[in-house]
Chains A and B, each alone.
Chain A
Amino acid sequence: MPKASGLSLHVPAPEVRPGDTPDFSGVDIPKAGEARRPDIDVDPKEIRDLAFSVIRVLSRKGDAVGPWANSLSNEELVAGLRNMMTVRCFDARMLLAQRQGKTSFFVQSFGEEAVACAFQSALVKGDMNFPTYRQVGLLISQQYPLKLLMNQIYSNEEDPIRGRQLPVMYSAKDYGFFSISGNLTTQFSQAVGWAMASAINNDTKIAAGWVGDGSTSENDFHAAMVFASTYRAPVVLNIVNNQWAISTFQGMAKGGSATFAARGHGFGLPALRVDGNDYLAVHAVAQWACERARRNLGPTLIEYVTYRAGGHSTSDDPAAYRPKEEGDAWPLGDPILRLKAHLIKQGVWSEQKHSQVEAEIEDEVITAQKAAENIGTLISGSAPSARDMFEGVYETMPPHLIKQRQEAGY
């Protein structure tokens, strides 16, 4: 045998960096309508191909095609478009508010609005999401009051969580929205546990867990998958692959795997990969997985292929690590523009109507913002009293905390 040369370490890197021309030629995008739609009681091993494909409904021409089409009426789609437009407008206003110094931090969903908005439309009251910080669409699409979101972002005295958490770490139990941690992936096994509890109780509710592409690397991801698989928990496990984890491209988490969805195969889970910028496809796939969970057929893993069109957060500048033009070159387009084009083609929407609704939404968001700012912003000194931070550490305050509270002057 010839003598082996020295070893070398493989460190993955994205194809392009700032100054280069964006290149998504390596991203294989099948035609809309091509992926098959199996029965919900299918044996997971019969549909392994769907983890390597991309389920798409909206064609380039704006038609809804293939077996995953027609899961929603035009009226429902118009509502979905409106929800996504509200998320985008809300994000833009809050991003600006942070830049104006009215709060410390903000995270937007820009470019991936369809994922949360369309998914939520497959859930029913009582179900529970365990979201990350980029799924505000789950709340906005349920008409959660924008003013309450803003109160939280401003940590003002009507902040539902009393100024205790970083902006966007909402909690809204009545809207099936679990308290956001800010630590990555911890909520994935919790979603599985919540779903197990529902099954233990012979309840009808299901749970949905959310992670990003980067945080699939966490141990929590694998623990959640094992428990979901072992106990066939009624849970939908969602991976939002928006290509970037702060500055780290998705290849760093994916390693040698073909897709993130394929990670479900090792656990015997049905794994679907879907066009995350296609509102119709996201809804159809979410509905399939939710129905499966609801019928006690167990968990499903879904990878949403999308693109984080903005920075990771207001503390991030993506121009430092990826070409500025990359978002425009993203082959799956913009979720709002795509649904808009479809609805225009259906004859239920128009450019004029779109502009009119856009203006209405902007009015609504600005009205909510003014109301929230009248209560206060982070810098206006309207935060709940520091006395409050001692509350709720335990249900009943133990003696040592009472003492510390007194020492703090309260």
Chain B
Amino acid sequence: MTNMTMIEAIRSAHDNAMEHDERVVVYGEDVGFFGGVFRCTAGLQEKYGKTRCFDAPISELGIVGTAIGMAAYGLRPLVEIQFADYVYPAYDQIVSEAARLRHRSAGDFTCPLVIRMPVGGGIFGGQTHSQSPEAIFTHVSGLKTVMPSNPYDAKGLLIAAIEDPDPVIFLEPKRLYNGPFDGHHEAPVVPWRQHPAGEVPDDYYSLPLGKAELRREGSDVTVLAYGTMVYVAHAAAKETGIDAEIIDLRSLLPLDIDTITASVQKTGRCVIVHEATLTCGFGAELAALVQQECFYHLEVPIQRITGWDTPYPHAQEWDYFPGPARLGRALHKAMEV
């Protein structure tokens, strides 16, 4: 076991996977010699050579398009999109090609491919370095979409994604790269070494895709969260004194509906929190599923606390970010009846 930041855990997953499986090839913008703008691939080119870890031209479409060809050939490409905000030029390749290849060819060709990208705000990134586009991937049949919330999960889930026979979108909340951020931006950064989930095995291990994790047991209200919002939920529970049960979804698709249902049926109350915009966000799917599965257990309407339906602002970042105060108000509201 080693104390790792999420960056180090992701790097360790790359290292283990490249060691474990010669088919794993890593590339993206600034990923090779420099080791990535967030340093997630640092040292890999030196260790595995420049045909297994290399820089790519600035073309997300080209990165994903070539990776699909490599996957069809039989390699296991693991590519980085520098910011999720840049993935849109590759969207056609992801939706019409990677996601459909197995189905449309009846298994003649497959696409075992991992596309990693940092998501979320809280770093003064403005509208082009802050978005959380998970819902545009969960909407697509044939893709799996994962978002870890800590170093231990990040490594285990990333290795599972690499092993997976189908394309996986791996979303990394960049505000969690260095510590478990709870939305109190004015407070000093808490490093991962002070958090139990910062303890990460050095060896190869994987965690199953499609399993949520109960982060905090509680009896009052279920909070469905993922990524950075897991810590915001903890802060809100602590600050309101409301006994929230916090579920970290980890994998959005496949979704662990059983864990969600068991919790909401127990508490009778549900608040969903995500950083992405509200309308047609992943919270809409969660709300629909919860009402379908738990309607007769619900005491109050399901609430969604999310980023506003505006572009992610720069100077007003903390007015946009769904922090513990907003979530706390929602928890109080859930307990009014």
Interface residues of A (CB under 8 A from B): 128, 130, 160-162, 164-165, 169, 171-173, 178-179, 181, 183, 186, 188-201, 207, 219-220, 223-224, 226-227, 230, 392-395, 398-400
Neighbour of B97 across the interface among A186, A191, A393, CB < 8 A: A186
In the complex the two chains form, what is the Cα distance from A410 to B102 in whole Å?
21
In the complex the two chains form, what is the Cα distance from A207 to B257 in whole Å?
43
Residue pair B75, A201 in contact (C-beta under 8 Å):
yes
Shortest A326–chain B CB gap in Å is 33
Residue pair B68, A190 in contact (C-beta under 8 Å):
yes
In the complex the two chains form, what is the Cα distance from A395 to B57 in whole Å?
32
Closest to A174 in B: B108
Neighbour of A399 across the interface among B25, B59, B74, B254, CB < 8 A: B254
Closest to A207 in B: B69
In the complex the two chains form, what is the Cα distance from A207 to B254 in whole Å?
34
In the complex the two chains form, what is the Cα distance from A267 to B121 in whole Å?
37
Shortest A217–chain B CB gap in Å is 14
In the complex the two chains form, what is the Cα distance from A297 to B180 in whole Å?
50
Residue pair A398, B102 in contact (C-beta under 8 Å):
no
In the complex the two chains form, what is the Cα distance from A179 to B210 in whole Å?
29
Shortest B72–chain A CB gap in Å is 6
By a CB distance below 8 angstroms, the chain A residues around B72 are: 128, 178, 190, 193-194
By a CB distance below 8 angstroms, the chain A residues around B93 are: 186, 189, 220
By a CB distance below 8 angstroms, the chain A residues around B144 are: 394
Residue pair B104, A179 in contact (C-beta under 8 Å):
yes
Neighbour of A191 across the interface among B61, B69, B102, B165, CB < 8 A: B69
By a CB distance below 8 angstroms, the chain B residues around A178 are: 72, 109
Residue pair A189, B70 in contact (C-beta under 8 Å):
no
Q: B305 near A: Cβ within 8 Å?
A: no
User: Given A220-B93, A399-B254, 16 other A-B contacts at CB below 8 A?
Assistant: A161-B106, A172-B108, A178-B72, A179-B105, A186-B92, A188-B65, A189-B69, A192-B66, A194-B72, A197-B73, A200-B52, A201-B73, A219-B89, A227-B56, A398-B253, A399-B210
Q: B141 near A: Cβ within 8 Å?
A: yes
Neighbour of B255 across the interface among A160, A201, A400, CB < 8 A: A400
Residue pair A226, B69 in contact (C-beta under 8 Å):
no
The total of Cβ contacts below 8 Å across the A-B interface reads: 144
The 14 sampled A-B contact pairs (Cβ below 8 Å) are A130-B69, A171-B104, A181-B100, A189-B65, A191-B69, A193-B68, A193-B70, A196-B70, A198-B73, A220-B92, A227-B65, A227-B66, A395-B110, A395-B165
Interface residues of B (CB under 8 A from A): 25, 51-52, 56-57, 59, 61-62, 65-70, 72-75, 77, 89, 92-93, 96-97, 100-110, 141-142, 144, 165-166, 210, 253-255, 257
In the complex the two chains form, what is the Cα distance from A391 to B66 in whole Å?
26
In the complex the two chains form, what is the Cα distance from A220 to B25 in whole Å?
22
Residue pair B142, A179 in contact (C-beta under 8 Å):
no
In the complex the two chains form, what is the Cα distance from A164 to B101 in whole Å?
11
By a CB distance below 8 angstroms, the chain B residues around A191 are: 69
Residue pair B62, A226 in contact (C-beta under 8 Å):
yes
Neighbour of B57 across the interface among A161, A165, A207, A230, CB < 8 A: A230
Shortest B17–chain A CB gap in Å is 16
In the complex the two chains form, what is the Cα distance from A331 to B288 in whole Å?
63
Shortest A406–chain B CB gap in Å is 15
By a CB distance below 8 angstroms, the chain A residues around B61 are: 189, 219-220, 223
Q: Given A178-B72, A181-B96, A395-B166, A186 and B104 touching (CB < 8 A)?
A: no
Residue pair B254, A400 in contact (C-beta under 8 Å):
yes
Residue pair B92, A183 in contact (C-beta under 8 Å):
yes
In the complex the two chains form, what is the Cα distance from A394 to B257 in whole Å?
18
Q: Given A160-B106, A200-B51, A226-B62, A193 and B67 touching (CB < 8 A)?
A: yes
Residue pair A164, B104 in contact (C-beta under 8 Å):
yes
In the complex the two chains form, what is the Cα distance from A394 to B141 in whole Å?
9
By a CB distance below 8 angstroms, the chain B residues around A192 are: 62, 65-66, 69
